[in-house]
Amino acid sequence: MKQTLKLAGLIAVITFALIEPIALAQTWPVKPIRIINPFPAGGGTDTFARPLAAKLTQSLGQSVIIENQGGAGGTVGAANAARTAPDGYTFLMGAIHHTIAESLYPKLSYNIEKDFIPVTMVAQVPQVMVVHPKYPFRNIKELVDYAKANPGKLNFGSPGAGTSHHLAMELFMKVTGTNFVHVPYRGAGPMMQDFLAGQIDLVFDGMGTSSTQIKAGKLRGLAIATTTRAPSFPDLPTMEESGVPGMVVNTWYALWAIKDTPKEIVDRMQQESARVMNLPDMKEIWASQLAESGGNTPDQFKAFVRNEVIRWGKVVKDANVVLN
């Protein structure tokens, strides 16, 4: 009789252990979800975070709220997120900047790979080399030839030291053997304003923000940092075609959960995010920014992040870029 009761108890424990994760995924969420955007409102991250949050609100049946916590290149909001409870009600909408920050900030209070769980990629926006039309350069070769004949004469702008725009140019200079003077700004808005006014000579910028200016003839695109040409800019060559191998740079945005968040919740969030990003109206929003939509699995995104940390760590080291 005792053995029968013990066996029944064991079966009950095993059954509960199997059913509990399923039940958790099915019942979650039971209250509003917060997604911390560690950048100011209105930036590139918001462009994708807010439509995604609106769709997830409909899909999950609970409000999904975007909370902007900008500062220090996205590290303030990420640090705050890392300190929150791993209950599945706080997520981080991070970006390429967070894989760069691992090498850039020696006193960072969190580790993007150890303190967060990858959920899924949200969007990838290709970067493009853009020059002010006051210069005659029509392609990368002409730019490189001029830069080598006139070292240090041309400058380039970025939204700030250590941003993907800055490091993309550092990578370009290393590969091509050129030298441009860096002019860092406090944000993409002021940078673009001076760029259009001819105060800076060239930039690496996201296609989503530069495409309108290129089409209007106010700026000139020289090459896109992707493996294939953009359908909306069929005449714009890739860096590879322009003689700069390995120059593939995307400004990407992605979703992380807090370390120790239950796997069932992470998986559900990934599945719902992937599903809603595949809806026609969401595809239109992404296409308007010339962005590739995400939706990959947590394991796939984890491997991607590892590669990005290694890649940009090397660029930061080679360029000797350090921020305190």
* pLDDT by 10s per residue, the chain, length 324: 556 555 555 554 454 444 455 555 578 999 999 999 998 887 788 899 999 999 999 999 999 999 999 887 788 999 999 999 999 999 999 999 999 998 988 889 999 999 999 999 999 999 999 999 999 999 999 999 999 999 999 999 988 888 889 999 999 999 999 999 999 887 777 889 999 999 999 999 988 888 889 999 999 999 999 888 988 899 999 999 999 988 989 999 999 999 999 999 999 999 999 999 999 999 999 998 889 999 999 999 999 999 999 999 998 998 888 775
User: Within a 10 A sphere around the Cβ of 157, how many other Cβ atoms?
Assistant: 25
What is the value of pTM for the model shown?
A: 0.84
Question: Does residue 32 form part of some domain?
Answer: yes
CATH number assigned to the domain comprising residue 314: 3.40.190.150
Question: Does residue 304 form part of some domain?
Answer: yes
Question: Does residue 242 form part of some domain?
Answer: no
Same domain, 13 and 119: yes
Question: Does residue 235 form part of some domain?
Answer: no
Q: How far apart are CA 239 and CA 172, in angstroms?
A: 10
At residue 84, the 3 state secondary structure works out as coil
Same domain, 143 and 201: yes
* pLDDT confidence of residue 9: 52
Same domain, 47 and 153: no
Look at residues 161, 156, 158 and name the one whose alpha carbon lies nearest to residue 73: 161
Same domain, 148 and 92: no
Same domain, 15 and 97: yes
pLDDT in tens, 295-319: 999 999 999 999 999 999 998 998 8
Q: How far apart are CA 31 and CA 49, in angstroms?
A: 19
Q: How far apart are CA 44 and CA 48, in angstroms?
A: 7
Question: Does residue 215 form part of some domain?
Answer: yes
Number of domains in the chain: 2
At residue 67, the 3 state secondary structure works out as strand
State how beta strands 33-37 and 181-184 pair.
unpaired
Name the residue range of residue 53's domain.
Answer: 9-124+251-319
* pLDDT confidence of residue 21: 52
Question: Does residue 243 form part of some domain?
Answer: no
Same domain, 19 and 119: yes
| DSSP designation for 177 | T
* pLDDT confidence of residue 255: 98
Q: CB–CB of 131/222 below 8 Å?
A: yes
Same domain, 101 and 149: no
Question: Does residue 244 form part of some domain?
Answer: no
* pLDDT confidence of residue 10: 54
* pLDDT confidence of residue 242: 95
Cα first-last separation, the chain:
69
List the structure tokens of 280. Answer: 């026609």
* pLDDT confidence of residue 13: 44
Same domain, 209 and 74: no
CATH number assigned to the domain comprising residue 138: 3.40.190.10
